[in-house]
Amino acid sequence: MGLPELETFDMIRLLYIARYKVLAVLLLLLLALAPAMAQNVVFQGETSTLAVEQKAQDYYVWELYDDPSVDFAKVPGNCPVTSATFVGSNVGASVQVQWLKPGIYFYKVTGYDVTGCTNNLEIGKMEVKPSMPTAELIQPEPDWICIGEKALLVVKLTGVSPWEITYTDGSAFWTVKDIVDSTYNLVVSPFSTTQYWITSVKDVNATNLTPSARVVVVVNPKPDISKIYQY
């Protein structure tokens, strides 16, 4: 009689698990996703792709949350479109989301089969950091000087002050710290035609290592010394 009792116990346990299959799947997925969640980081204003592996003829619906206290399995997405929004459709194996405000967000994807039934969903986490600072060098006008003169290079900055920038002419590097205004003037005095560009810009939130576009300062030689009249 021991064997039938064991089978009956196993049957009850399986039925219990099946009854709460959605919750069990959700908990397992959350545990599996925990190490990866911390790696989902984007910057304000960026658009990222969220994706799952397409299974047979299933289709997928995505939702966004900015309140993690709700029951994701029961509550529809509650994220305002002013904070994060889908670019195009929120249906498909992959979707795009534009993150508009810094914060912690969660996304849910629910898989449905061709009959419209589902018991499969996944939850992910996204950290949105403040936007990366940028620095733009403005081409001087006019773009030439005579040798020995100085040229003014205007830098346009975005982000949160104070800023720190590093710029170069390709051979030397200079760093300017504690910039408080979003427009900053660099004074240069090259001895020959030279290109300048910014290699990094840093604000209170992040460092952007993307080089800026280059500007050129043309240096013209002075004419030869000669008499302007004859004796």
- pLDDT value for 15: 38
Residue 3 lies in a domain: no
Specify the CATH number for the domain of residue 104: 2.60.40.1080
Looking at residue 132, its amino acid is M
Do 166 and 197 belong together in one domain? yes
Choosing from 72, 98, 129, the residue where a domain stops is 129
Do 182 and 100 belong together in one domain? no
51-69 core/surface letters (b: 16 or more CB in 10 A; e: else): ebeeeeeebbbbbbbbeee
- pLDDT value for 39: 53
Residue 12 lies in a domain: no
Structure tokens at 95: 């979707």
Using the Cα atoms of residue 137, residue 143, residue 144 and residue 148 in order, give the sign of their dihedral: negative
DSSP string, 44-75: TT-EEEEE----TT-EEEEEEES-TTS-TTTS
Query: Strands of 47-51's sheet, edge to edge?
Result: 47-51, 94-99, 84-86
Do 29 and 122 belong together in one domain? yes
- pLDDT value for 113: 87
DSSP symbol at 77: P
User: Is residue 105 within 8 Å of residue 67, measured between CB atoms?
Assistant: no
Q: Name the residue range of residue 155's domain.
A: 134-220
DSSP string, 130-143: PPPPEEEEEPPSS-
Residue 34 lies in a domain: yes
- pLDDT value for 56: 84
Q: How many domains does the chain have?
A: 2
Do 104 and 47 belong together in one domain? yes
Which residue in 64, 63, 68 sits closest to 83, CA to CA?
Answer: 64
Question: Strand 144-146 relative to strand 215-220: parallel, antiparallel, unpaired?
Answer: parallel
- pLDDT value for 168: 98
- pLDDT value for 67: 95
- What distance, in Å, lies between the first and last C-alpha atoms of the chain? 135
Residue 162 lies in a domain: yes
Choosing from 129, 144, 175, the residue where a domain stops is 129
pTM over 0.85: no
Specify the CATH number for the domain of residue 210: 2.20.130.20
- Mean pLDDT per 10-residue interval, the chain, length 231 residues: 40 40 41 45 94 90 96 95 98 97 96 79 93 94 92 96 98 98 97 97 95 97 70 53
Do 54 and 105 belong together in one domain? yes
Choosing from 103, 129, 155, the residue where a domain stops is 129
Residue 203, SS3 per DSSP: coil
CA 168 – CA 138 distance, rounded (Å):
15
CA 54 – CA 5 distance, rounded (Å):
42
